[in-house]
Amino acid sequence: MITIYGIRNCDTMQKAIKWLNAKKVKFTFHDYKESGIDKATIELWLQHFPLDKLINTRSTTFRELSDKEKAVIIDKAKAIALMMKCNSLIKRPVWDLGNGKFFLGWDEAALTRIIS
């Protein structure tokens, strides 16, 4: 089963959920604003995505960080701690497609090829 991670009120997440429902794809949604996100999950994602891609540097949350906080994202352990604290920093959605396969972000054409 597919699990998508994100924030319920995010426009991109809403597109992804609507798309999955229209395709009648079974999925689980993990809202990390409500349920949080743990270190092990972020570490797993970092085995599949570079740190600079997993952190959404275009987000309002990132722009509101102090220069000191922004500087820690080059250190993996500190970046993980920051993502756990400020989970809005994580690019959305993160797709766990099962069987060790992951996808980051929203690309309808790519997802159609992967999921169909």
Q: What is the pLDDT of residues 52-103, one digit of tens each?
A: 999 998 888 899 999 988 888 889 999 999 999 999 999 999 999 999 999 9
Q: Which fold has domain 2-115?
A: Glutaredoxin (3.40.30)
CA pair distance 61, 99, nearest whole angstrom: 32
Tens digit of each residue's pLDDT (9 = 90 or more) over 9-57: 999 999 999 999 999 999 999 999 999 999 999 999 999 999 999 999 8
Rounded to whole angstroms, what are the CA distances from 38 to 32, 59, 66, 114? 9, 21, 23, 26
How many other C-beta atoms lie within 10 A of the C-beta of residue 56? 16
Catalytic residues: 10
Q: For residue 69, what pLDDT is reported?
A: 87
DSSP state of 6: E
Which pTM was predicted? 0.92
| Residues 33 and 83 sit within 8 Å (Cβ to Cβ) | no
